[in-house]
Structure 1
Amino acid sequence: MSDAAMTKLKHLVQNRRPYHMLEAPFYTDPDIFKADMDLIFRRHWIFVGLEPDVPEPGDVMNVKIGDASILIVRDDDNNIHAMHNICRHRGAALVVDEKTSVGRLVCPYHSWTYGLDGALLHAQYMPEDFDASCSGLRKVHLRSVEGLLFICLAENPPEDFEEFAKTAGPYVAPHDIANCKVVHESDLIEPGNWKLAVENNRECYHCSANHPELTQSIYEFGFGFDATEHDPSRQALRRHYEDMVEKDLAAWEAAGLPSVENNQRLEAVSGFRVGRMTMDKAGESQTLDTKIASKKLLGNFTEARLGDLSIHTQPNSWHHLMSDHIVSFAVFPLSANQTLVKTKWLVHKDAVEGVDYDMENLTRVWSETNVQDSRLVGLSQLGAQSPGYVQGPYSKQTEGQVEQFAAWYIARLKAHLCA
């Protein structure tokens, strides 16, 4: 980053207006995009997938974060490793597919061969004093939080991630992610900056007008929507929702399911929010009829109506864990105006398609919602690129979580720029 670009970024960070959209360059400037990749995505814990992405020994997942290609590999002892996808000989990529299964990791260039843990096993024609133990694949920090996989590309990752693992782990554990399977994946390139994709996710102000499928099961009140209601029918709906929340949270907590919201996005380096939300109608799952999509419940669950365990992690993920299935989302920036949103649907590993679940019913709500959100993100990007763009105000009643994300982002930039 040039000195001029750095000075500009520092000025923008210093002058950020609370409870307002970020200034346009944060969404459009290629230099700021590069700073985001360096200061955010290469220095924080990034969600990359789930343990069922690599269910068997030898399974490999290739994750790309900017220019970095990282291999997530399960070894013969069922340990999972994260390693740079770079041969230690002359730098060739070892794996080009997004997912594959191997016995060993073999470089296609000169056949240097590595174990599933990254140790160099074979390098032909090297000198006698060559020390293979010093030429294993470069490891990347990896943590599994009850099956949710995070990596950090920094040499010294943020230590407060332990607080997230300690807090969120008990919420996630009953859903038994390790004994789930990924049954559907969707890659959607949204025509907007990654921050617009995250901001859109952090509020439900737009839900009733844009998400007819999703709002069959969710209440906007569960997503930070706290507007004063004047319409009598809306007032009654709000009272009904609050009564349900009080009863549901008490019942779920009594059953041993942590449910009360814990929100540390604003103050934590490894920011997060976790909490179990009441859902509408049957209240079982995020489907059109709000009933379970899979007859085979997760973990040891015997009760279908367990709400939606909603998890947000800074900077790039959100998740919905229900009694019968899980929907997991990850955001990967591609450029200043393009973002890859990866969505995965999981069910119990023993669930059988056509018997226990119907794929269309399982995936329809979020498949439709993702397309709708992509359109909205694209509209926001068009606005940010216009010379007429000015910073609009957030609603303090409905967009508090958007402000929390924006404040977190600015605080992290400020911390790194000052350092």
Structure 2
Amino acid sequence: MVDVMSHLVRRRKDHTLEAPFYTDPDIFDVDMDVIFGRHWLFVGVEPDVAEPGDVMVVDVGKNSVLILRDDDEEVRAFHNVCRHRGARLVHEEKGTVGNIMCRYHSWVYNTEGELIHAEHMGEDFDKSCHGLKPVHIRSLEGLLFICLADDPPDDFDAMAEIMGPYISPHNIRETKVAYQHDLIEPGNWKLTMENNRECYHCGANHPELTVPLFAYGFGFAPEELSAEERDHADKYAATLTDNHKEWEAMGLPSREVDRLDDMVTAFRAERLPLAGAGESHTIDTRRACRKLLGNLTNAKAGGLHFWTQPNSWHHLLGDHAVVFSVLPLDAEHSLLRTKWLVHKDAVEGVDYDLDNLIGVWMATNQQDSDLVGYCQQGVRSDGYIPGPYSPHTEMLVEKFSNWYVERMKSHLSESRSVA
């Protein structure tokens, strides 16, 4: 078995990780234990389980978790495992239940996870001792996070206190999922996340995404700019400052907050202006949905970027929101799950055209998946050695890698001290 700690200790600052972090099944197993087994993971939105009895299943490695809304409107999460002989309970990703019945021996649980029916178990059998095993779940203004650990990180509230005012104007709870797309990316989950944390590659690879985005919003090398380019960069900086003031006067928190590598439940957010008509992530930069989110009255609310470690990023706009989660499948494959959210009363074909709504990110996701695949092919090679990050455009990739390395080292050090 590979010595994970030795690879972590050797990690060179501001450089990519050594190849085994992207290819080795043993390190993948440690990732699933330490990172995906002990941290808050973004898995969906409250509109996924909009009504009492609605249920959603999310698989995280070997663990299957069912998320449901109980009869009292509370969102709960449980291990998707019958307490009798371990059969999986809910087999479809989405559904609606009155109670949850195991197909094997017909044990029945209510939506609060209590065992309410089990035949032939004898007079001394106590149903109250055999309810579903709960999973920690928290909602951040409608964004759902779970933690599989018995004792989850205790700083979720710190993130929620800061991010709640940023997210709440978009009122995610009062949206619906207009479309969901699952894409299997041919790469390790860390390559998917690293790719997301920079836009160094955007100009050459994302013709659709770069239409609504300003080129200077994601880093650049000042010493390489011409006089004209410097002028454009200065104008963008002034626009950003002006927009932040304008949005915050409207009750839309906008200024950058970056806690990507100094918290356990790490995150980053900033509201950025959009190019062209300035309304949305669409090819024509105009709103994709006529009904705006929450109580917003102006589609020009910019694009709120919200990232969380280890597995999500989100774009909240005036007219819709797009949320992304990454779930590892094995050492070299990952599931990218994307959901497009619109106002719950918006009608497809009347208030929005689905192809227009999803077009930019459907194209961008596939382009990114191809790039991740190229990297996965490369890190398998004997010719791969860790390469340097750009100090101007890949600073946030370094923060992701540093967070990952420090979380792994912390847990492995604790395990060694206990042993």
2:8 — aligned with what? 13
Note the C-alpha offset of 1:229: 4.0
Q: 2 CA distance for matches of 1:226 and 1:151?
A: 39
Map of 1:135 onto structure 2: 130
The one-letter code sitting in structure 2 at the alignment partner of 1:258 is P
- Equivalent residue, structure 2, for 1:412: 407
Alignment partners' CA distance in 2, 1:238 and 1:364: 28
* Partner of residue 102, structure 2: 107
Alignment-derived partner of residue 397 in structure 1: 392
Q: Deviations over 1:333-389 (max 9, x none)?
A: 001110100000000000011111000100000000000000000000011000100
SS in 2 for 1:178: helix
The aligned runs of 1:276-355 (5 Å cut-off) are 276-355=271-350
Contact 2:194 2:397 in 1 (8 A): yes
User: 3-state SS of the aligned residue for 2:326?
Assistant: strand
Contact 2:222 2:230 in 1 (8 A): no
Letter in 2 for 1:101: T
Give the SS at the match of 1:287: coil
- SS of equivalent residue, structure 2 residue 43: strand
Q: Return 5+ residue gaps in structure 2 as ranges.
A: 415-419
Structure-2 residue corresponding to 1:63: 58
Q: Would you say 1:235 and 2:230 are equivalent positions?
A: yes
Q: CA deviation at 1:195?
A: 0.3
CA contact (8 A) 1:16 1:22 kept: yes
TM-score when scaled to structure 2? 0.97
CA contact (8 A) 2:327 2:334 kept: yes
- 1:224 is displaced (CA, Å) by 4.4
1:215-258 CA-to-partner distances (Å, cap 9, x unmatched) read: 00112433344654422332222112111101100011111111
Q: Judge conservation of contact 2:35–2:408 (CA < 8 Å) in 1.
A: yes
Compute the displacement of 1:167 (Å).
0.8
Is 2:199 the partner of 1:204? Answer: yes
In 2, the alpha carbon distance for the partners of 1:287 and 1:193 equals: 29
For 1:153, the equivalent position in structure 2 comes to 148
**Aligned-CA RMSD value:** 1.0
Work out whether 1:85 is the aligned partner of 2:80.
Answer: yes
| 1:126-173 Cα deviation digits (max 9, x unpaired) | 121211111110000000000000000000000011111111111000
Q: Which amino acid aligns with 1:163?
A: A
Letter in 2 for 1:380: C
Matches of 1:108 and 1:58 in 2, distance apart?
Answer: 18
SS of 1:195's equivalent?
helix
In structure 2, how many angstroms separate the alpha carbons of the residues matched to 1:221 and 1:330? Answer: 26
Match in the other structure for 2:417: none
Listed one character per residue, the Cα deviations across residues 298-333 of structure 1 (whole Å, up to 9, x for unaligned) are 101111101001000000000000000000000000
Counterparts of 2:107 and 2:225 in 1: how far apart (Å)? 69
Residues 326 and 346 of structure 1 are in contact (CA less than 8 Å); yes or no, is this contact kept in structure 2?
Answer: yes
Residues 270-324 of structure 1, C-alpha deviation per residue, up to 9 Å, x if partnerless?
A: 1100111111111111000111000000101111101001000000000000000
Code of the aligned partner of 1:417: L
Residues 25 and 32 of structure 1 are in contact (CA less than 8 Å); yes or no, is this contact kept in structure 2?
yes
Distance 2:221 2:400 in 1: 17
1:372 maps to what in 2?
367
Residue 212 (structure 2) pairs with residue 214 (structure 1): no
In structure 1, C-alpha distance between the alignment counterparts of 2:218 and 2:261, rounded to whole Å: 16
> Match for residue 163 of structure 2?
168
Give, as a single letter, the amino acid of the residue that structure 2 aligns with 1:262: V
Q: Amino acid of the residue matched to residue 45 of structure 2?
A: L
| Cα distance between partner residues in 1 of 2:321 and 2:222 | 29
8 Å contact kept, 1:203–1:401:
yes
Which amino acid counterpart does residue 193 of structure 2 have in structure 1?
A: V
Q: Does residue 128 of structure 2 align to residue 117 of structure 1?
A: no
Q: SS of the residue aligned with 1:214?
A: coil
Q: Cα offset for 1:112? A: 0.5
Q: Secondary structure at the match of 1:41?
A: coil
- Tell me, yes or no, if structure 1 residue 25 matches structure 2 residue 23: no
Whole-angstrom CA distance in 2 between matches of 1:225 and 1:158:
35
Structure 1 residues 120 and 165: CA distance shift in structure 2, 3 A: same
Q: 1:127 to 1:295 in 2, by over 3 A?
A: same
Deviations 1:50-78 (A, max 9, x none): 00111111111000000000000011111
Conserved 8 A contact 2:171-2:293? yes
The one-letter code matched in structure 2 to 1:344 is K
Equivalent residues of 1:33, 1:335 under 8 A apart: yes
How many pairs align? 414
Kindly, what percent of the aligned residue pairs are identical?
56
After superposition, the Cα gap between the structure-2 partners of 1:227 and 1:360, relative to the gap in structure 1 and judged at 3 Å, is farther
